[in-house]
Amino acid sequence: MFTVRCILGTSAKNLTSRPVLRRRIELQRRMSTSPLPVAAVCQMTATPDKEANFSACRQLVEEAQQRGACMVFLPEGFDYIGSSREETLSLSESLEGDTVSKYTQLARKLEVWLSLGGFHERGHDWESDRRIYNSHVIINDKGDIVSVYRKSHLFDVELPEKGVCLKESAFTVPGPGLVSPVQTPIGKVGLGICYDVRFPELSLALRRDAAEILTYPSAFTAATGAAHWEVLLRARAIETQCFVLAAAQVGRHGEKRRSYGHALAVDPWGEVLADCGGEEPGVALVEIDPEKVRSTRRSMPVQQHRRDDAFYRGLERS
Ligand SMILES: O=C(O)CNC(=O)[C@H](CS)NC(=O)CCC(=O)C(=O)O
């Protein structure tokens, strides 16, 4: 079915290979003594079948909630991954549609916060433009939509030698800009999506706006993921001294597409706390300790050391 990884407490342990019983006992012990909020980072394999995708995501969310998560992160394309431009567009919905409403009900029922990493959204300009937004939707534990961030950087990339050829702008409109970090039970969450992780100015802007956790729900290609995924996420964590949570698509979505997986949680020092691997759907549970953010920033105050005066004026010509 799927794999559960629990990385709770300071001695991070990957419990997947242990017998179920020991895992449960260990968890209950840790959960009852831990006052820290727990986040769940998920990975799944979406297809064009929206019903099946919802049912897979619901199982991950239920599992995470039962294990003590107060906020669950789902990847870009959690709703579906289409096999063509036409299919991707025809399956899209507005925020008022069936899909988001199923998730608001789920959040309310389980009293859990949700990050829906990349929803194929028909926006206000759908009738005229016939393209969609790639939208990261945050739902609170009452089932209200509290924030929507629309992906800024679109993945128009041709790497034929690596079998990667995607033109996101053919079906997606770039969003107008950043949204302020959202106050959640795990801390202040800054919103990005997938390819946005390659643009550090976005993460620095979120950090400047008081983010403590950055999120990059993704559907990274297998080829670019193998080369860049972990180093990009760790770099964003180290530069901003934020936790970085990145839910992911994993495996084959059809004939043409394969995603890298390795849904990741990174702490503000850049240490990888959890990695869901490259094979199958799964969920990793991580404690989000706000003291880790504070102490990392206290001991190495890069934000105070930043020379905006020197680097935001443009370069002098010699
Ligand atoms: O297409 C959909 O339905 C959902 N959207 C995506 O999968 C997007 C756009 S094609 N994928 C990426 O941004 C991959 C980035 C990447 O792999 C990298 O930066 O290396």
Q: Whose alpha carbon is nearest atom 16 of ligand 1? A: 220
In the sheet that holds 264-266, the strands lie side by side as 182-184, 187-191, 213-215, 243-246, 264-266, 272-275
Angstrom distances, CA of residue 38 to CA of 186, 220, 301: 7, 25, 26
116 CA from centroid of ligand 1 (Å): 15
Find the largest Cα–Cα distance for the chain.
Answer: 69
Ligand 1 touching residue 68 (CB < 6 A): no
Ligand 1 touching residue 4 (CB < 6 A): no
Q: Which helix (H) or strand (E) holds 200?
A: helix 200-208
Question: Which candidate in 151, 242, 276, 287 is catalytic?
Answer: 151
289 CA from centroid of ligand 1 (Å): 30
Q: Quick count: other Cβ atoms within 10 Å of Cβ 311?
A: 9
pLDDT for the residue numbered 8: 56
The domains of the chain are located at: 3-299
Q: Which helix (H) or strand (E) holds 161?
A: none
If you search the block for the tokens 């012990």, which residue do you land on?
A: 29
Ligand 1 touching residue 79 (CB < 6 A): no
Predicted TM-score of the model (pTM)? 0.92
In CATH, what class is 3-299?
Answer: alpha beta
Look up residue 177 and give its amino acid. G
- Residue 210: is its pLDDT beyond 50? yes
For residue 151, indicate whether it is catalytic. yes
The average pLDDT across 274-283 equals 97
Ligand 1 touching residue 118 (CB < 6 A): yes
Q: What is the pLDDT of residues 84-108, one digit of tens each?
A: 999 999 999 999 999 999 999 999 9
Ligand 1 touching residue 219 (CB < 6 A): yes
pLDDT for the residue numbered 43: 98
Q: Tell me which residue of 79, 47, 40, 45 sits closest to 63, measured CA to CA.
A: 40
